[in-house]
Structure 1
Amino acid sequence: MVYNKDVNFAICNHLIVVCCHAIYTGGSHLGASENEWLIEPFQKGETPTFIDHVKAGLKALTEDSHSLLVFSGGPTKKPRTELSEGQSYLNLAEDNDYFQDISTISEIDTSRIIAETNATDSYQNLLFSLIQFRIYTGIYPHKVTVVTHEFKRARFMQCHFPAVGLIPVGLKQKDYTHKVAVIGINPPVEVTPPETLTRG
């Protein structure tokens, strides 16, 4: 996304990261058809969960006027497409008018939504989004919220957040809820059993 000099990003102090997991290619079904996605075989049936991640990120954005939403993910499906996961999720949001027909999502400030287009794993989702936040706002965020699969909550709390210095190693999550948060949404168990997720 092109930097918009007319937007006052300096008011933002809360980074919301949506970790992307596939590439939405566009189409008349606006993402509702799995045929409009580039996914891996093990992700079959999971595209509604990816859409739920987008919606959760948008909802979090509407709840904090000082937040910046980043859809994070690189071009993981070359040579089939040069499109990045992050940009494709942003395209999905745009194609669906940011899901503003949903009662919990309203008055979206689209100027506070950007794409990070290089990350290839969950640690990079966090790290590269922090860098993007710094580029856009001039500061590092006071709070970080990550939208991802629920089974990755422990990974962020125990590994990724401490690795970038957001929280100390080994302290209880409840002690730092003012600084970090994870919104975890797994696919339905009938689509992807929990034991399959944790093995991956």
Structure 2
Amino acid sequence: MEYDRLIILPCHSIWKGQDTQHSQGQNSSEWFLASFQVEGQDHLCFIDHIKRSFEELKKSPRALLVISGGQTKSEAGPVSEALSYYQLARRILAGPEFNALFDRVVLEEYARDSLENVLFSVCRFYEITASYPEFITVVGFEFKRTRFLKYHLVEALNFPDSRVEYIGNSPTPGSDIDHEHYFSSLEASEQKHALEHFETDLYGIRNPPGEKGTERPIQEASRV
């Protein structure tokens, strides 16, 4: 099979992998989450990202899905975000209709931030296929659309904007949260901690001290 489409699923946390078969990631306690991720019920978005990625994979027989995310949580031990997403996908997408799709899923287990999600996934695609993708789809948070499409894919990689696609969703904070303030703060954080940074430093070369550590402060600050 010749693949020409890369679907990138950037990871944002690590699923703990509960033993019970009833555990499908729906409870926040099943994840290693930062406080802001708990506030936005981000783990529900993660599950949706997985499902949407496989929907795209099913629609495109020449696509390869790369699940991207490194070992970002010391308390999780030597478990990558990508591996935990894959394990959860196996749990929630069980059945014969999905078995063949998993043959077109590979992991990228070193990325620490969104730029590395893109760069390393493209490299992983090349490693598997010995070619570069003609089309790239990213599945993630809607508020990160500009970061991925404009700064990472089009400007940093010089990938034609006519051949990139972004599929996004948004956090769903509870009824006890001021939604207007929540989303305005979310946009302001993305602007300050990500867009302004990559606007002047496309490849993350001149990061402020510590911004490329294992905890990925750039992403943590802007709600990866």
Instruction: Name the TM tier (shorter chain).
Output: 0.7 to 0.9
Q: Tell whether 2:184 aligns with 1:195.
A: yes
Q: 1:33 to 1:189 in 2, by over 3 A?
A: closer
- Structure-1 residue corresponding to 2:33: 39
Question: Is structure 2 residue 140 aligned with structure 1 residue 148?
Answer: yes
Does residue 137 of the first structure (1) align with residue 123 of the second (2)? no
Tell whether the 8 Å contact from 2:16 to 2:76 is kept in structure 1 after alignment.
Answer: no
* Equivalent residue number for residue 49 of structure 1: 45
The answer to whether the Cα contact below 8 Å between 2:8 and 2:67 also exists between their aligned partners in 1 is: yes
TM-score normalised over the length of structure 1: 0.82
Q: Match for 2:79 among 72, 75, 83? A: 83
- Matching residue's letter, 2:186: L
- Structure 1 residue runs of 5 or longer lacking an equivalent are 1-7, 168-172
Tell me if the contact between 1:62 and 1:107 (Cα under 8 Å) persists in the aligned partners: no
Specify whether residues 53 and 20 from structure 1 end up closer, same or farther in structure 2 by C-alpha distance, changes over 3 A only: same
- Relative to its length, the structure with more helix (as a share) is 2
- How far 1:156 moved relative to its partner? 1.6
TM-score by length of 2: 0.74
Determine the structure 2 residue equivalent to 1:182.
166
Alignment of 1:39-118 (within 5 A): 39-44=33-38, 45-96=41-92, 98=93, 108-118=100-110
What is the aligned partner in structure 1 of residue 218 from structure 2? none
Asked if the contact 1:12/1:66 (under 8 Å) is kept, the reply is: yes
Q: Which amino acid aligns with 1:130?
A: V
2:214: which partner in 1? none
1:15 maps to amino acid: L
Cα distance in 1 for partners of 2:156, 2:95 equals: 35
Give the CA deviation at 1:99.
5.8
Could you give the per-residue CA deviations for residues 90-148 of structure 1, whole angstroms, max 9, x where no partner exists? 1100122x2669xxx86752110111101011111000000000000010000000011
Which residue matches 1:121?
Answer: 113
Q: Contact conserved, 2:14 with 2:76, CA < 8 A, in 1?
A: no
Task: Tell me, in whole angstroms, the C-alpha distance in 2 between the residues paired with 1:100 and 1:146.
Answer: 25
- Listed as ranges, the gaps of 5+ residues in structure 2 are 190-221
Q: After superposition, what is the alpha-carbon deviation per residue over 1:169-198, rounded to whole angstroms, capped at 9, x for unaligned?
A: xxxx5xx1xx10000111125477322322
Among the aligned pairs, what percent are the same residue? 34
Change (3 A) 1:95 1:88: same
Letter in 2 for 1:138: A
* CA 1:99–1:153: 2 relative to 1, 3 Å: farther
Aligned residues: 178
Do the aligned partners of 1:62 and 1:108 also contact (CA within 8 Å) in 2? no
In 2, the alpha carbon distance for the partners of 1:186 and 1:100 equals 28
Report SS of the residue matched to 2:106. strand
Cα RMSD (Å): 2.0
Q: What CA distance in whole angstroms lies between the structure 1 residues aligned with 2:5 and 2:123?
A: 13
The SS at the match of 2:52 is: helix
Distance 1:108 1:159 in 2: 34
Query: Do the aligned partners of 1:58 and 1:108 also contact (CA within 8 Å) in 2?
Result: no
Report if aligned partners of 1:71, 1:114 keep a CA contact under 8 Å in 2: yes
- Secondary structure of 2:133 counterpart: coil
Report what 1:165 is aligned to.
158
